[in-house]
Amino acid sequence: MLVYQEIAQRLRREIKYGLRSPGALLPPETVFAEELGVSRKTLRKAFAELEQEGLITRRKHVGTGICADAAEKIRLSLRVGVVFSILGSEEALSASVLLASAGPATELQLLLRRLLQEGVNLQLLSDLHFEQQQDLWQEFDGLFFIPPHGAALSLRQAADKHFPHLNLENHLPYPGINTVMADDEQAAYECTRELLQIGHKQIAFIGGALQSPDVDSGFRRRTRGFLRAYADFSLTPSPDWIFNLENQSSYQMSELLRDYPARTAACSAVVAAVGHSVLELENLRRRHGQQLFPCKELRCIDLQPLHLGPGELCRLQQYHGYIKPRQEVATTAYEHLLQWIGDPDYQFQCHKIPFHRHIPVQEQKEFIYAEA
């Protein structure tokens, strides 16, 4: 692709994805050419191509403006790679991710559905493909990285190249990595702070598998929020009250809650990182009795986790806590990838989406009556 064609394609993307508004004037020719690092002759060739397509108008003494219907006229064929870290799993991923039912879905599933609806050409591939075939980078307009491990090597390469990419949920603290994730840490902080404010000083925390130390996983962020709330009250929780599994990406609930009665005997409250832990505590209480598993004041960070039936989700609605903003994470990821594809000067960020507060229905009614 020639330089003027690259400039024209960049402007098409910026117009299509809303970075340049219909009816707006482009910068003066001399200024714009300098901004883009090209000659005025090259810029004029790009303008001529766009004018022929009916996307811009050029008027003497007025300038170059974007046509009102330019965005509707542009038809871009985007190719986005979905990168995972297990070689040879394309078929399994296609079945479980792309062809998922229309029910509850992960952030990645919601995102991929949106991309398919918008006509984006998706390709699943392993990060090993990038290691073995460096020319693959030229075949894609952007990349998404599948959690939990996020294909770390390719993710770092994308950051080094300033290549349009997004990592979902598990942020790697490496310069140039662009991540969109739910703000697990703040939700955990709010749950814990609320319990401390009403007088609970001994609070158990049921987390999960933390993964490797270099991955800022959701459970790691939630643990950090729990500890931060304690620090704000100048208190330190006992390590026995914190239930996590180091260097693991999956876990059994029985393994996570080993020795729970003995370790939490002094605790009057508990913060559960996810609703599955709350349901497991209920089951253990029914099986072993109140003496071993007494009721404690409880807050849950995610009251609508995946892979639960309607009855289980209904049971969780009786508790205070938060709900993970999966749809908002997917929408934000979609918008920011397109923004980066359209704007080579895009600056990377770590975008954190707040959780939704949940108050049990009965207490909502009482609040409404009190207001009335």
Identify residue 197 by its one-letter amino acid code: Q
Per CATH, the architecture of 79-177+328-353 is what?
3-Layer(aba) Sandwich (3.40)
Residue 214 Rama label (left phi>0; alpha psi -120 to 50; beta): alpha
**Are 63 and 32 spatial neighbours (Cβ–Cβ below 8 Å)?**
no
**Are 261 and 293 spatial neighbours (Cβ–Cβ below 8 Å)?**
yes
Task: List the chain domain ranges.
Answer: 3-73, 79-177+328-353, 184-323
pLDDT of res. 13:
81
Q: How far apart are CA 366 and CA 372, in angstroms?
A: 10
**Are 359 and 320 spatial neighbours (Cβ–Cβ below 8 Å)?**
yes
Per CATH, the architecture of 184-323 is what?
3-Layer(aba) Sandwich (3.40)
Q: How far apart are CA 253 and CA 6, in angstroms?
A: 53
pLDDT of res. 95:
40
Residue 72 CB-density burial (10 A; 0-12 exposed, 13-18 middle, 19+ buried)? exposed
Ranges under pLDDT 70 in the chain: 86-104, 147-151, 249, 361-372
pLDDT of res. 92:
42
Q: How far apart are CA 143 and CA 83, in angstroms?
A: 7
Q: How far apart are CA 338 and CA 114, in angstroms?
A: 12
**Are 97 and 86 spatial neighbours (Cβ–Cβ below 8 Å)?**
no
pLDDT of res. 302:
96
* Same fold: 79-177+328-353 with 184-323: yes
Give the domain 3-73 fold: Arc Repressor Mutant, subunit A (1.10.10)
Q: How far apart are CA 30 and CA 64, in angstroms?
A: 12
- Which residue, chain included where needed, has tokens 């994805």? 17
CA terminus-to-terminus distance, the chain: 67
Rg of the chain over all Cα atoms, to the nearest angstrom: 25
Full-model pTM: 0.79
pLDDT of res. 364:
46
